[in-house]
C-alpha cells in the first residue's frame, strides 16, 4: 500500500456514453464538494478502458465487470457509479430471424473480448468461437452490411437496432436473470488497490455525491452529455440514461454485490478465471462482504 493521503489529483476514466457523462459531470466540473480532490477525465470506449486498466494506467476507471475479474491484483470496486440492473443486458442481433451458433463458421461481432457482453455471450454460447472485435458503435453496420452474421450490441444500440431492420435473437441479460435470479452487472468503477483506504473511501463518497447531484439536477449535465454523444437523438440519450443509471449507481447494496459475486462464480465455473479474492470492494464497510476466497 502506498500513502496517497496527500495526493489531491487523480486520473478518472469513463466512457463518452450518456450514462457516464451524466454521472460524472458534477464530479469533473466541480459542481459538488470534492473534498479537495480534482479529477482529470479520460474518456474512452469501454474496451479501451478495460485494456488501460490491465496496465494500471488510470487511478480510477469504469471497467466491465467481466474485465474486473482479471484486475483484482490492481484494483478494487467502489460502491457508486455502477451500471447494473434488470432489463439492461446486451442483445444479440442479426439480419436473419435465427442463427445457428453451433456452426463454427458463423461470424459474430463483439464489443471487445474483455466486456461483460462477450462474457455473457461466451457463457451461453460457448461453441461460438468465430468472433470479431470492434468498437461497439460499429457493430450494427457490420451486421447490416453482411460483414458478420450476428452482433452483440450494447449501450444506445439496443434502442436503434429494430428501426434499422435487425432482429433480436437473444437478450443476454434476460438469459442471465432467468438462470441466476440476479440483476446483470455490466460495468463498475474501480480504484487502485494500493491507495490508502481513507482516500478510496473519500473517492467513493465523491462518486456517490456526483450521481446523486445528477439525479437531483438532470438538466445540469445536459450540455456535457450532448457534447460527447455525437449525433445521438435527444430521446435516445435520455433512454440511455434511464436504462443504465439507477439506484445501483448510487450504491451497489448487498443485492448488487451478490450479483457481482455470482458473476465471479460463473467465471470460475466456466474456467474463465481461477480465483476471486475475498476483499474485492474498496469500502471498509463491505470489504469483507464475502469472507471466503473462491478458487477453481
- The residues of the chain that CATH labels 3.40.190.10 are 9-85+183-295, 91-180
pLDDT for res 291? 36
Strand partners for 185: 84
Q: What percent of the chain has pLDDT over 70?
A: 94
Read off the pLDDT band of 66 (50, 70, 90). Answer: very high
For the residues 174-187, what does the mean pLDDT come to? 94
For the residues 71-83, what does the mean pLDDT come to? 95
CA angle centred on 188, ends 183 and 192, rounded to 5°: 145
pLDDT for res 145? 94
What is the CATH code for 91-180? 3.40.190.10
Read off the pLDDT band of 142 (50, 70, 90). Answer: very high
Q: 216 or 112: which carries more pLDDT confidence?
A: 216
pLDDT for res 159? 83
3-class state of residue 131 by DSSP = strand
Confidence check: pLDDT of 289 > 70: no
Handedness of CA 6, 1, 253, 55 (dihedral sign): positive
Confidence check: pLDDT of 275 > 80: no
Q: What is the pTM of this model?
A: 0.88
Strand partners for 187: 64, 83
Confidence check: pLDDT of 21 > 90: yes
Weakest-pLDDT range from 136-145, 211-220, 234-243, 266-275: 266-275
Q: Which helix (H) or strand (E) holds 93?
A: strand 91-94
Phi, psi dihedral angles at 13 (to 5 degrees): -100, 135
What is the CATH code for 9-85+183-295? 3.40.190.10
Mind spelling out the 3-state secondary structure of 219-260?
Answer: CCCHHHHHHCCCCCCHHHHHHHHHHHCCHHHHCCHHHHHHHH
Under a CB-based contact definition with an 8 Å cutoff, are residues 201 and 80 in contact?
no
pLDDT for res 287? 45
Catalytic residue annotation: 155
Amino acid at each position: 500500500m502506498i500513502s496517497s493521503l496527500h495526493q489531491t489529483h487523480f486520473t478518472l476514466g469513463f466512457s463518452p456514453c450518456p450514462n457516464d457523462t451524466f454521472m460524472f459531470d458534477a464530479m469533473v466540473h466541480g459542481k459538488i464538494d470534492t473534498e479537495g480532490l480534482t479529477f482529470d477525465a479520460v474518456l474512452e470506449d469501454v474496451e479501451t478502458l478495460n485494456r488501460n486498466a490491465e496496465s494500471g494506467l488510470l487511478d480510477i476507471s469504469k471497467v466491465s465487470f467481466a474485465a474486473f475479474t482479471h484486475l483484482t491484483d490492481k484494483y478494487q470496486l467502489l460502491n457508486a457509479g455502477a451500471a447494473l440492473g434488470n432489463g439492461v443486458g446486451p442483445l444479440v442481433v442479426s439480419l436473419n430471424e435465427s442463427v445457428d451458433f453451433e456452426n463454427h463458421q458463423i461470424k459474430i461481432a463483439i464489443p471487445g473480448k474483455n466486456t461483460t457482453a462477450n462474457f455473457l455471450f461466451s457463457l451461453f454460447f460457448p461453441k461460438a468461437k468465430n468472433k470479431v472485435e470492434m468498437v461497439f458503435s460499429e457493430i450494427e453496420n457490420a451486421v447490416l452490411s453482411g460483414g458478420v452474421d450476428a452482433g452483440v450490441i450494447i449501450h444506445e444500440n439496443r434502442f436503434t437496432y429494430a428501426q434499422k431492420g435487425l432482429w433480436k435473437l437473444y437478450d443476454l441479460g434476460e438469459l442471465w436473470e432467468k438462470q441466476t435470479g440476479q440483476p446483470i452487472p455490466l460495468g463498475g468503477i474501480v480504484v487502485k488497490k494500493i491507495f490508502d483506504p481513507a482516500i478510496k473511501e473519500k473517492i467513493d463518497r465523491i462518486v456517490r455525491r456526483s450521481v446523486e447531484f445528477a439525479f437531483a439536477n438532470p438538466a445540469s449535465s445536459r450540455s456535457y452529455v450532448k457534447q460527447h454523444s455525437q449525433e445521438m437523438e435527444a430521446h435516445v440519450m435520455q433512454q440511455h440514461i434511464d436504462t443504465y443509471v439507477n439506484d445501483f449507481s448510487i450504491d451497489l447494496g448487498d443485492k448488487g454485490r451478490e450479483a457481482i459475486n455470482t458473476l465471479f462464480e460463473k467465471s470460475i465455473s466456466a474456467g474463465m478465471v481461477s480465483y476471486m479474492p475475498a476483499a474485492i470492494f474498496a469500502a471498509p464497510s463491505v470489504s469483507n462482504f464475502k469472507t471466503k476466497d473462491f478458487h477453481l
